Amino acid sequence: MMVERIPQHRHCQACGKAFTGRDDFCSEDCREERSDEIKGKRKQLLILYALAVAVLVIALVVGL
């Protein structure tokens, strides 16, 4: 039985495409895309935290 050998490779963290090299991304475009995605998620999380604190403060004020 003949087994086909796949060359050593990695998968891009942004698009999932297989590529050779030591980087985590296949191109600079993918790196920037992933960076923008992370910034957007971080912004959403900060907004969620701010809303949670606001709800907590309102609940404490109303409860007193």
Per-residue pLDDT at 27: 94
Residue 13's CB is within 10 A of a number of other CB atoms, namely 14
Q: Is residue 64 scored above 80 in pLDDT?
A: no
DSSP-H helix ranges across 1-64: 28-63
Q: Is residue 37 scored above 70 in pLDDT?
A: yes
Three-state DSSP class for 31? helix
Q: Is residue 1 scored above 70 in pLDDT?
A: no
pTM above 0.75, yes or no: no
The ranges assigned to domains in the chain are 10-63
Per-residue pLDDT at 58: 96
- Tens-place pLDDT, residues 8-28: 899 999 999 999 988 999 999
Give the phi and the psi of residue 9 in degrees, each rounded to 5: -155, 170
